[in-house]
Structure 1
Amino acid sequence: MPLNSQTRLLPLRQIELPILQAPPELKIRTDRDVEVWKSTKGYADYLLFLRRLSEAVVDCTLPLVDHPKQSQEIDGILALLDTLSNWVDEIPPLQTPQRFGNLAFRTWGARLEERSDELLSQLLGEKFASAFPYLKPSLLTSFGSFLRMDYGTGHESSFAIFLLCLTLVRFLQPEPDEERHIVLSVFVRYLQLCWKLQDVYRLEPAGSHGVWGLDDYTFLGYIFGSGQLRDQTVITVASVLNPPLPQNNLYFMSIMRVHQVKHGPFYEHSSQLHSIAVGVPNWGKVHSGLFKMYEAEVLGKRVVVQHLPLGGLMEWDTHVDQRHAPSMSRDAPATADTRAPWAQPR
């Protein structure tokens, strides 16, 4: 079955808040817990959400034109992110020598923790007030670790889960136009904020796979960007080797961000991205391969997902109808091998 028709036949479940008990918490402590999570309703919802978002942006370019105007709810999330960005300007980095990160990031994080209820109230209003305890943990873990002063794919995933939870309570609507703006308005603004946090507060990458790593900080931008380009035949995958690249899709934006923060030959500091550019024949295969890699390298790694608040709206119920939990890859399910298909020795 084609991805688009399969995705649209599997609507996201709406969760009624009165049925929920405990708010989300850290549930993953062992590798066994990771396997349990993969069988939960929350995990299935998250995979489906990412597939729906990717499907919504196929053939779309930035900035969004000739599409329905974004909703007031999208405007509200953008306003929240703008507020957080303004805080960075109000909390400059400390000038004292610091080896890893800048302690001002902890001040920024403390303000987020202190004002998170206020931010959620401004965003959601009284109608969704009962959702605050289920949304607050994922919001607080979306921008990095204030203790370790680092940022990585787990924090990025936490923000995507925050957006999923907003959809599950139907603050956001699981409709193509809304999902398109979730990616190309909200997620773009989120990435820009996180890049600002990384630059101003010199945040460390939250772990790295070295030569097999895709990007030190982020992953979803490459998935959504390759989704935008999925059916493209004029723009080749190899075109990423010829910067500067137009900033009209998230894949090219992410590549140019790498060039901004890293120096030296691209094939040396970003060997995985270089391997994709020279070894994958079309964007469809890039997209499906990256989905598979995300399942294995991010969602399948305890050191990443142990920091995700789970439960609550991300239901920790292992009785999942497997028809509603398809692998994110169209080609094959994720495997224990953390390397992407194009990185396999021949």
Structure 2
Amino acid sequence: MSFIKPVRRVYTQEDLSKWINSNTFNEILNFICDLQNSILSKSNDYKEPLEDKTEQELAKETEIIDKLIKLFNEIEKIIENHPITNENNQNNKSRFGKIEFRDFYNDLSNNIEALISPISKIGIIETSTYLLNSFGDQTRIDYGSGHELNFICFLYCLNNLQIINSTMYTSIILKIFTKYMSIMRILQKKYWLEPAGSHGVWGLDDYHFLPFLFGSSQLVNHPYLKPKSIHNDEIIDQFHMQYIYFECIYFLNQIKITNNSNEKLSLRWHSPMLDDISSAKNWNKIKEGMIKMYKVEVLSKLPIIQHFLFGSILKCPDDIPEVHNNNNNQSTSDCGHVHNEVINTWGDCCGIKIPSAIAASESLKLQNQSNYKQIPFD
């Protein structure tokens, strides 16, 4: 099998329709469902019974998980090598992304293949491309559900190359996905990454969708933690280290603040969809609903899939042309994809530039002035 650098191929609504009906679409969706089901009713500290796997399976899993954790530890070191150097200049007054993120991204790009090679040298041009794109956009200094999807593509490639397999999925989510999330939180807070798109990830979170999709599965059949528990601060404080969904709520509670940094905003105000979801009868309803919503709002949205990368592992549908000719209704943007001027692009990757709530929260802490009265989401 020959490997190629993954590239964009979906540009139009016609392309999108072909993507939605493709084998690759179904393979990605099924992979996400399998990952979600692998942590059904399992907390982050879940210990798999040793008798469930052979010694050979355990040894292989331990080796791969350790290598993946080491990879992410190395990425953390790269972040540490690129501190913010403009805390006292004019840029600190901005609520938008810190330019030092580009230095981090360049450093990561230069080392990404070397970081992955201990895990697998096979297909490295494809695995490295997806992993690099998992950490946001270097030019726009933003991050969203499309970048998050790249991380799933990275895992899918490892699965396709038989580096990981279904027996490892539980550990992949509870140890590796959570590690990825922790690094993204560092990047978001340190470099003030902006939300990709004009209104965050469809009302769940400024950046993420998948932790809610996976996290809801963990809570299915829990004896006393219910969907409405997200409104109980004591429960969130107690269980955010054990459940991915609760970690997301905990994080939102830390950054969605008023001018008084000790005053938390209502979940209903800053995350109305999460508030609505909390009225569901049980976690299984949320688990199933998250898959349906992800399919529609992420995998089937042109502004996101225009950035999806196709290679030899994740194949582009055969009937999508390699080259598109512009017509009078289309224009190519500086982000590298085609906009249809007839369609309202509200919420796309090139929509209204907005700062993150993290930038608002952190800048309030830095300013710390009694007469500082800016709105936290301006």
Distance in 1 separating the partners of 2:172 and 2:66: 10
In structure 1, the partner of 2:288 is: 288
Paired residue type of 2:270 = H
Change (3 A) 1:64 1:32: same
The RMSD of aligned alpha carbons is 1.8
Q: How does 1:38-53 map to 2 (within 5 A)?
A: 38-53=20-35
Distance in 1 separating the partners of 2:4 and 2:81: 35
Instruction: Please state if 1:205 is matched with 2:205.
Output: no
Residue 213 of structure 1 deviates from its aligned partner by 1.7
Distance in 2 separating the partners of 1:208 and 1:292: 22
Residue 259 of structure 1 deviates from its aligned partner by 0.9
Residue 139 of structure 1 deviates from its aligned partner by 1.1
Q: How does 1:2-21 map to 2 (within 5 A)?
A: 18=1, 20=2
SS in 2 for 1:315: coil
In structure 2, the partner of 1:13 is: none
Alpha carbons 1:41, 1:318 under 8 Å: kept: no
SS in 2 for 1:130: coil
Name the one with the larger helix percent. 1
Q: How does 1:1-346 map to 2 (within 5 A)?
A: 18=1, 20=2, 22-68=4-50, 70-95=61-86, 96-98=89-91, 99=94, 100-124=96-120, 129-175=121-167, 178-209=168-199, 213-244=203-234, 245=236, 246-247=239-240, 248-263=242-257, 264-278=265-279, 280-317=280-317
Paired residue type of 2:302 = R
Distance in 1 separating the partners of 2:308 and 2:73: 24
Distance in 2 separating the partners of 1:119 and 1:25: 21
Distance in 2 separating the partners of 1:212 and 1:87: 31
SS in 1 for 2:90: coil
The percent of aligned pairs where both chains have the same amino acid is 30
Residue 116 of structure 1 deviates from its aligned partner by 1.4
Q: Deviations over 1:285-311 (max 9, x none)?
A: 111111111111111111122222123
Alpha carbons 1:138, 1:308 under 8 Å: kept: no
Greater shift, 104-113 or 308-317, is seen at 308-317
Alpha carbons 1:94, 1:103 under 8 Å: kept: no
User: Structure 2, unaligned stretches of length 5 or more?
Assistant: 51-57, 258-264, 320-378
Residue 112 of structure 1 deviates from its aligned partner by 1.1
Runs of 4+ off more than 6 Å: none
Change (3 A) 1:149 1:286: same
Q: What's the TM-score, normalizing by structure 2?
A: 0.74
In structure 1, the partner of 2:358 is: none
Alpha carbons 2:211, 2:245 under 8 Å: kept: yes
SS in 2 for 1:142: helix
User: Structure 1, unaligned stretches of length 5 or more?
Assistant: 1-17, 320-346
Q: How many residues align?
A: 294
Distance in 2 separating the partners of 1:160 and 1:133: 16
Alpha carbons 2:3, 2:126 under 8 Å: kept: no
Greater shift, 86-95 or 143-152, is seen at 86-95
Paired residue type of 1:274 = D
Q: What's the TM-score, normalizing by structure 1?
A: 0.81
Distance in 2 separating the partners of 1:318 and 1:283: 39
Distance in 1 separating the partners of 2:100 and 2:79: 9
Residue 65 of structure 1 deviates from its aligned partner by 2.6
Q: Deviations over 1:79-107 (max 9, x none)?
A: 11111111111210131432321111000
Distance in 2 separating the partners of 1:269 and 1:283: 22
Distance in 2 separating the partners of 1:232 and 1:193: 28
